[in-house]
Amino acid sequence: MFTFSQGSACTALLVAVFSRKLEMTKAEKHVLHFMEANKITKRVKYCAANVLRETWLLYKNAKLAPTFNPNRVRLHQRKFLQAIYR
């Protein structure tokens, strides 16, 4: 019975020490939050640029092109919808 309680105590002590070592400091949490926010901002800008590009290409191929090519228009419609839903 003594061995069991000693093993449990050692395990609890190890868990307490490792959990304290793995815990992030306040500064580390701020850096992580900043990096995540920066990553999300870049992703939003990238998606917005894709939407604008496909909108322009759709308009250019549908209205400004000398000959109407339905395949190109449909291609850019598809890409436009993909850009919106990403």
Its pTM stands at 0.65
Q: How many CB atoms lie within 10 A of CB 79?
A: 16
C-beta atoms surrounding 61 within 10 Å = 20
Give me the helices (H) in the chain, please. Answer: 2-22, 26-59, 70-84
Q: Which fold has domain 24-84?
A: Helix Hairpins (1.10.287)
Q: What φ, ψ does residue 18 adopt, rounded to 5°? A: -70, -35
Model confidence pLDDT, tens digit, residues 23-47 = 888 898 999 999 999 999 999 999 9
Q: Could you tell me the residue ranges of all domains in the chain?
A: 24-84
**pLDDT > 70? residue 1:** no
- CA dist 80 and 69 (Å) reads 17
